Amino acid sequence: MTAYDALFRHAFTRVEPEKAHHLGFRAVRAAAPVSSRLALPGGPVRAMGLAFPNVLGLAAGFDKNAVGVDGLAGLGFGHVEVGTVTGRPQPGNPQPRLFRLPADGAVVNRMGFNNDGAAVVSQRLAAWRSRRHRHTPVLGVNIGKTKVVPEDDQAAVEDDYRLSTRLLAPYADYLVVNVSSPNTPGLRSLQSVERLGPLLDAVRAEADATTARRVPLLVKIAPDLADEDVLAVADLAKQLGLDGITATNTTISREGLTSSPAEVEAIGAGGLSGRPLTARAEQVMRLLRDRVGPDLTLVGVGGITTVDDARARLAAGATLLQGYSAFVYEGPLWPRRILRGVASG
């Protein structure tokens, strides 16, 4: 058992999960002046025309408001994806809304895109870009739908994503359109190619009108899509000239969990992340890579906990990797441990 394991089991598990997240994140930010001086581990990866310091990044959801990019990079993450950011600020869903299933190495959240809104986050990123950094990670910005925007009003949805794009694209190394969180009503209906195509076109057009450089654009999909729908998104990505696909987001499934049914039922609705996603996320990655060919960037996320998980996801076709739940359970040394293991390959 590592020191972090003991701390997690005997201290963090006694603290309400959302409060523990804020406390842990505060420590990461406080350590930034020291951790940011450490060399980033791993070898460089070229993807989407960008030079990534290494293959591993932090998935969206941890740093929703872009307040701790330097501290997170100091832990070893070669890219940090902030957000999900919405066009307007919103408080998210009522608390409690974040839960642990330690027996499964899983997290359930129904946060509901709580964030400061695109205008505030864009100002924060402008200030961050203006500072000098010893190590500057690749910065991704994940954008989603504001909850009050009617999901069945396609024009309003597109305008909402356009607003976020207009404000955030100037500071993003890449953008991700999130249409796969289960915690915003109706959001996942945007994954249908009939609605997704026009939405991605709108974001692409807004990004191109906003910035002189071309900002790479990806879409993030759910593991709960049927195989034929995964393939349809892959075909759409090729048709639209997307730069990549991120696979996968959280799942609404509760199949195969070790945790007691009573514990799972007591938690209720929300997206589940962590070890239970490993098999399906890897399967989706293989489907995508077989469909899109060797060139499109695929970001593998979901259930990557061990070095073997990371190697398997890369073997399945991932260009880049991301973590979230394993970072929570394994602690601040986890990114460097994964990168050392992958490099020793």
Q: What is the pLDDT of residue 5?
A: 57
Find out whether 68 and 35 touch, Cβ atoms under 8 Å. Answer: no
In 239-326, which ranges are E strands?
A: 244-247, 271-274, 297-301, 320-323
User: pLDDT 10s per residue in the chain (345 long)?
Assistant: 555 555 555 456 679 999 999 999 999 999 988 887 887 788 999 999 999 999 999 999 999 999 999 999 999 999 999 999 999 999 999 999 999 999 999 999 999 999 999 999 999 999 999 987 666 899 999 999 999 999 999 999 999 999 999 999 999 999 999 988 887 888 788 888 889 999 999 999 999 999 999 999 999 999 999 999 999 999 999 999 999 999 999 999 999 999 999 999 999 999 999 999 999 999 999 999 999 999 999 999 999 999 999 999 999 999 999 999 999 999 999 999 999 999 987
- What is the CATH number assigned to the segment(s) 3-344? 3.20.20.70
Q: Is 324 annotated as a binding residue?
A: yes
d(CA 13, CA 299): 30
Residues 6+ apart with CB under 8 A from 23: 15
pTM of this structure = 0.95
User: Could you state, in order of their start, the residue ranges of all structural domains in the chain?
Assistant: 3-344
Catalytic site positions: 181
Q: What is the pLDDT of residue 175?
A: 98
Q: What is the pLDDT of residue 4?
A: 53
Whose tokens are 């509901």? That residue is 112
CA atoms within 13 A on the CB side of 231: 6
Burial label for 216, CB within 10 Å (0-12, 13-18, 19+), is: buried
Tokens of 260: 């007691």
Q: What is the pLDDT of residue 10?
A: 47
Q: Is 303 annotated as a binding residue?
A: yes
Q: Is 99 annotated as a binding residue?
A: no
Q: Is 64 annotated as a binding residue?
A: yes
Measured in whole angstroms, how far is the alpha carbon of residue 192 from the centre of its chain? 20
Q: What's the alpha-carbon Rg for the chain, to the nearest Å? A: 19
Q: What is the pLDDT of residue 12?
A: 60
Q: What is the pLDDT of residue 134?
A: 66
Q: Is 77 annotated as a binding residue?
A: no
Tokens of 205: 């057009």
